Amino acid sequence: MEAERLAAEAERESAEAEHAAARQERAEKTAAEAEAEARAEAARLWSEEDRLIRLQVEAGAAREEAARQTAEAERREALARQAEADERTALAREAVARAELAAQEADDAARRSPRERGECQVARMILAAHHALPEHERPIEPDMYAVTLEDIGSVLNVARTAASERRQAAADLIKNGYVG
For 57-70, the pLDDT digits (tens) are: 888 888 898 889 99
- H helices of the chain, in order, are 2-110, 114-132, 149-156, 160-175
Average pLDDT over residues 53-57: 85
pTM: 0.51
pLDDT at 21: 67
Assess whether pLDDT exceeds 80 at residue 27: no
* Beta carbons within 8 Å of 103's beta carbon, 6+ residues apart: 120, 121, 124, 180
Weakest mean pLDDT among 29-33, 133-137, 174-178? 29-33
3-state DSSP assignment of residue 127: helix
Give the tens place of pLDDT for each residue, 66-109: 889 998 989 999 888 898 878 887 877 787 788 778 878 887 78
